[in-house]
Amino acid sequence: MILASQSPRRRELLSYITEDFTVMPAKGEEKISEGASPEETVKALSRQKAEEIHSEHKGEIIVAADTVVAIDGEILGKPRDKEHAAEMLRKLSGRVHSVFTGVCVIFEDGSAANFAEETKVEFYPLSDKEIADYIATGDPMDKAGAYGIQERGAANVKGIVGDFYNVMGLPVGRLARLLRGHI
């Protein structure tokens, strides 16, 4: 099995299902269709990554994923800089948003499964000082939506509805069931 991701979090989460995999990040440019929903976007991006690695490694199981945070129909990717991170966190403050992870698995025979998982996350209201202090930790800078639920960002989360691990970047339970009989 090959994990088509450089994310240390995805590597850790896939190890909850199996230890028998290698990591090979996709390197291609991510192509997003304009006007696509967050769900369509993550499904398409995960499929692009899986197909890129599959083209070089036929006969292997390929697992690829992509995660976005969305609020009011807007996809929040990784912040460009500290100001952009603060803008994102202000949008999330005191509100419910969605985290979508798209997963694509290409099996040994070339057949594929592609799905998106949604988890709702509610943030506590955040003061400007709380936002600034959180950004100063550096944690938000490499994460979609400018937070990591598994790190200091957990202090901002009032509650979730759905798969916790999906918010970290891989819906472990659903993926484990999909891989049953293949690993």
Per-residue confidence (pLDDT) for residue 28, from 0 to 100: 78
What's the predicted TM-score (pTM) here?
A: 0.92
Q: Are 38 and 96 in contact (CB under 8 A)?
A: no
CATH code (residue 107): 3.90.950.10
pLDDT digits (tens, 9 = 90+) for 85-102: 999 999 999 999 999 999
Residue 142 and residue 94: Cα distance in Å, rounded? 22
pLDDT digits (tens, 9 = 90+) for 57-88: 999 999 999 999 999 989 998 899 999 999 99
Domain limits for position 101: 2-179
Which residues are part of the catalytic machinery? 66
Q: Are 7 and 167 in contact (CB under 8 A)?
A: no
74-76 and 112-123 strand pairing: unpaired
Per-residue confidence (pLDDT) for residue 77, from 0 to 100: 86
Average pLDDT along the chain = 94
Q: Which two structure tokens, joined as six digits, stand for 129?
A: 């000082």
Number of domains forming the structure of the chain = 1
